């Protein structure tokens, strides 16, 4: 062997040694690379991480329905080792070379994510040795590893956590507490969407701008409450004078109980009565004392936050009121009423049965409609529809008023399914909708005789269900062109609960612009995503879904041809228009038999997909608990899904099932 060949062999051995975390000599490293793995966490796990396998193989990844689920990124080394052993489920003991654990990431067997580990590479060699190792493990070793991972996923003891009122909840609460309909939170700093919602615990801090907004709103609300006297009867008693102690004490306790959504503690009562007395003594007016108490309470964390799970030594009667608030803000999007306060006082909310009875009463209230509407508004991102901007020359009919009617159509369809106890999965396949004249014109169907009347689509129509609604189609498109990627991401994340990884830093996501010499359709131009290996693995998951919706333009109108306009170089000359055929074939990669050629077919695929059905459960869980689900929540999700399915997919039954879950009762 030549010196250069020996040097090359040594360099390769060193490379393998470094990559696999081996710190021995080059010769020993070369031998180690083929002698069998020692530590999964130091050898194979970095290979999977470099291949970005975790991005899809998690509880909320595109490959969530497979048997391969990676542990959390912060998992302890011993849990990563246990995970490596559980991969034995993907190993063919009789013929390790046929194992899915080798043939999927190398794409020898069709893999939705494409090639993640190159065949013939050092990485594949290390993976092959690990597969051979797993094939020799006794079943009890694999079972013990599974038990260790299950133990690591078990819920840990938690401290008291606080959930801040969302802007919607703030508006509704001051309406019901003070009789104020001014919606002050509409002018607060905007809320961020995390995990698809605006009520998630990890983003509910108190930034300075929001604290200032709360302070200004409290002052204005308190002034308005008593500007014309006590017009909303916040003071239940009739004070004889500014120093009427009995009436003062009654007001502080009564209003405080409603504002803090629980009885005041003794020290709180003393503090607010002292504040009341000081102001009333200065002005000689009883209502001035009441005003400063209202202003102070509206700025208190006890008003702005409600408790999610108390420590064991803090649990007592207060926890009953915590549960009442949790119920009220989920099912009503506002503060508890007197009946709910009474249920908390009597201890009726301490059991799943008591919670269910109360929840069913609350769902029969008109207030439940505002709460469910808020869930839909966040889940389906109505804000994107209402804030969409479209090219005026291309879409002159698109106005803020039309955008509002688009949202109203979707609200009415979903509301019909919820409150008439329909099959909620019909939302994806409904051959009817609720239209006004403007939407009927956009959809090219006969106009209804009344505003937002139920209209059945003609048999030849391609439109059906949510994916045919202009609210979805216009929100996930650009000002001029459609966006197959945006529509595909929305379906993945909102309807399948599959998180699509962000593109790597520095990757060019632009597609070629059409030219008059080469007027390519949107689908053809987007082939650049597939041609780039860095982009292809993710775009294969998103773009084919959107391609199947390309017959809908950027505001949701149907089109048989894609029209591309090219500006003329000559002044006062109209643009040249080129019409191109649309290839409307699509696929939801990862779902068996998911190819489709008509937009209505994708709705049926989703409606019949367990992944989509479970996703609706997960979305409701995230909204109800203010956090994304974890491995420890799998049983609760499974139980809620079973109740949802057995009810014929009635949405109200799903809400009741979530309320009965241990996580909701304990605020975990």
pLDDT at 534: 63
- What b/e string do you get for 276-314 counting C-beta neighbours within 10 Å, with b at 16 or more? beebbeeeeebbbbbbbbbbbbbbbebbbbbbbbbeeee
3-state SS track over 471-520: HHHHHCECCCCECHHHHHHHHHHHHCCCECCCCCCCCCCCCCCCCCCCCC
Cβ neighbours for 116, distance < 8 A, ≥ 6 positions apart = 51, 52, 53, 105, 106, 107, 537
pTM of the predicted model over 0.75: yes
Q: Is the pLDDT of residue 89 over 50?
A: yes
Neighbours of 457 (CB within 10 A): 18
138, burial (CB in 10 Å: exposed 0-12, middle 13-18, buried 19+): exposed
Residue range 111-117: mean pLDDT, rounded? 82
pLDDT at 157: 44
pLDDT class for 136, splitting at 50, 70, 90?
A: very high
The CA dihedral of 138, 143, 146, 151, to the nearest 10 degrees, is -130
Structure tokens at 435: 């239209």
Q: Alpha helices, DSSP H only, in 57-105?
A: 77-86, 100-103
Residue range 6-13: mean pLDDT, rounded? 37
**Tokens 């109209």, located at residue:** 574
Structure tokens at 657: 């099932």
Q: Which residue has the higher pLDDT, 234 or 160?
A: 234
Q: Which residue has the higher pLDDT, 391 or 52?
A: 391
Residue range 204-227: mean pLDDT, rounded? 95
pLDDT (tens digit, 9 = 90+) per residue, 410-448? 999 999 999 999 999 999 999 999 999 999 999 999 999
pLDDT class for 41, splitting at 50, 70, 90?
A: confident
Q: Which residue has the higher pLDDT, 137 or 574?
A: 137
| Backbone φ, ψ for residue 578 (5° rounding) | -120, 130
Q: Is the pLDDT of residue 227 over 90?
A: yes
Q: Is the pLDDT of residue 25 over 50?
A: no
The gap from C-alpha 273 to its chain's centroid, in whole angstroms, comes to 43
pLDDT class for 153, splitting at 50, 70, 90?
A: low
Lowest mean pLDDT among 29-33, 207-211, 486-490: 29-33
**What is the chain's alpha carbon radius of gyration, rounded to the nearest angstrom?**
30
The gap from C-alpha 425 to its chain's centroid, in whole angstroms, comes to 18
Mean pLDDT of the chain: 87
Measured CA to CA, the distance from residue 667 to residue 410 in angstroms comes to 31
Q: Among candidates 53, 196, 197, 202, which has minimal Cα distance to 497?
A: 196
Measured CA to CA, the distance from residue 159 to residue 91 in angstroms comes to 41
The answer to whether 624 and 198 have CB atoms below 8 angstroms apart is no
Measured CA to CA, the distance from residue 148 to residue 145 in angstroms comes to 5
pLDDT at 155: 52
Q: Is the pLDDT of residue 1 over 80?
A: no
pLDDT class for 171, splitting at 50, 70, 90?
A: very high
pLDDT (tens digit, 9 = 90+) per residue, 233-291? 999 999 999 999 999 999 999 999 999 999 999 999 999 999 999 999 999 999 999 99
Q: How many Cα atoms occupy the beta-carbon half-sphere of 166 within 13 Å? A: 24
Lowest mean pLDDT among 34-38, 231-235, 292-296: 34-38
190, burial (CB in 10 Å: exposed 0-12, middle 13-18, buried 19+): exposed
Q: Is the pLDDT of residue 654 over 50?
A: yes
């Amino acid at each position: 062997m030549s010196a250069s060949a020996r040097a090359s062999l040594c360099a390769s051995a060193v490379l393998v040694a470094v990559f696999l975390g081996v710190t021995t000599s080059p010769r020993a490293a070369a031998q180690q690379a083929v002698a069998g793995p020692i530590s999964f966490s130091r050898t194979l796990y970095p290979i999977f991480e470099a291949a970005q396998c975790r991005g899809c193989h998690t509880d909320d990844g595109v490959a969530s329905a497979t048997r391969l689920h990676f542990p959390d990124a912060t998992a302890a080394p011993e849990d990563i080792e246990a995970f490596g052993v559980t991969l034995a489920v993907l190993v063919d003991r009789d013929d390790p070379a046929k194992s899915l654990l080798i043939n999927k990431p190398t794409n020898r067997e069709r893999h939705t994510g494409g090639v993640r580990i190159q065949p013939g590479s050092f990485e594949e060699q290390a993976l092959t040795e690990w597969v051979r190792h797993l094939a020799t493990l006794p079943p009890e070793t694999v079972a013990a590893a599974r038990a260790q991972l299950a133990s690591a996923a078990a819920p840990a003891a938690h401290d008291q956590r606080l959930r801040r009122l969302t802007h919607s909840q703030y508006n509704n609460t001051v309406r019901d507490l003070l009789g104020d309909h001014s919606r002050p939170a509409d002018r607060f700093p905007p809320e961020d969407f995390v995990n698809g919602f605006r009520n998630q615990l990890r983003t509910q801090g108190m930034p300075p701008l929001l604290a200032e907004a709360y302070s200004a709103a409290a002052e204005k609300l308190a002034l308005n409450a008593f500007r014309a006297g006590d017009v909303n009867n916040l003071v239940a008693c009739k004070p004889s004078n500014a120093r009427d102690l009995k009436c003062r004490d009654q007001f502080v306790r009564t209003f405080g109980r409603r504002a803090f959504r629980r009885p005041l503690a003794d020290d709180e009562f003393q503090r607010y009565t002292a504040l009341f007395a000081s102001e009333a003594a200065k002005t000689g007016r009883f209502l001035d004392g009441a005003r400063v108490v209202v202003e102070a309470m509206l700025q208190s964390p006890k008003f702005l936050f409600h408790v999610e799970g108390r420590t064991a030594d803090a649990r007592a009667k207060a926890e009953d009121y915590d549960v009442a608030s949790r119920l009220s803000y989920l099912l009503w999007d506002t503060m508890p009423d007197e009946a709910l306060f009474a249920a908390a006082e009597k201890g009726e909310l301490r059991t799943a049965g008591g919670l269910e009875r109360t929840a069913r009463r609350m769902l029969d209230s008109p207030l439940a409609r505002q709460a469910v509407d808020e869930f839909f508004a966040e889940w389906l991102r109505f804000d994107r529809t209402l804030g969409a901007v479209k090219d005026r020359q291309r879409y002159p009919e698109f106005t803020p008023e039309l955008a509002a009617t688009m949202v109203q159509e979707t609200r009415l369809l979903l509301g019909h399914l919820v409150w008439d106890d329909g099959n909620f999965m019909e939302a994806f396949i409904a051959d009817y909708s609720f239209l006004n004249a403007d939407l009927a014109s956009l959809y090219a169907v006969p106009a209804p005789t009344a505003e937002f009347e139920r209209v059945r689509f003609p048999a030849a129509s391609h439109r059906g269900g949510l994916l045919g609604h202009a609210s979805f189609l216009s929100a996930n498109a650009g000002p001029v062109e459609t966006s197959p990627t945006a529509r595909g991401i929305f379906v993945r994340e909102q309807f399948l609960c599959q998180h699509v990884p962000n593109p790597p830093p520095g990757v060019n996501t632009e597609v070629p612009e059409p030219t008059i010499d080469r007027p390519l359709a949107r689908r053809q131009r987007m082939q650049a995503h597939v041609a780039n290996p860095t982009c292809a693995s993710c775009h294969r998951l998103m773009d084919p879904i959107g391609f199947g919706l390309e017959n809908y333009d950027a505001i949701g109108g149907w089109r048989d041809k894609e029209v591309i306009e090219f500006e003329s170089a000559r002044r006062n000359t109209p643009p040249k228009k080129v019409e191109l055929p649309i290839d409307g074939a699509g696929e939801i990669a990862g779902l068996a038999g998911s190819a489709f050629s008509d937009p209505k077919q994708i709705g049926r695929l989703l409606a019949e997909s367990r992944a989509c059905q479970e996703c609706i459960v997960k979305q409701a869980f995230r909204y109800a608990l203010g956090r994304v689900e974890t491995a420890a929540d799998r049983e609760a999700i499974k139980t809620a899904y079973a109740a949802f399915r057995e009810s014929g997919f009635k949405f109200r039954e799903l809400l009741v099932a979530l309320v009965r879950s241990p996580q909701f009762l304990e605020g975990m």
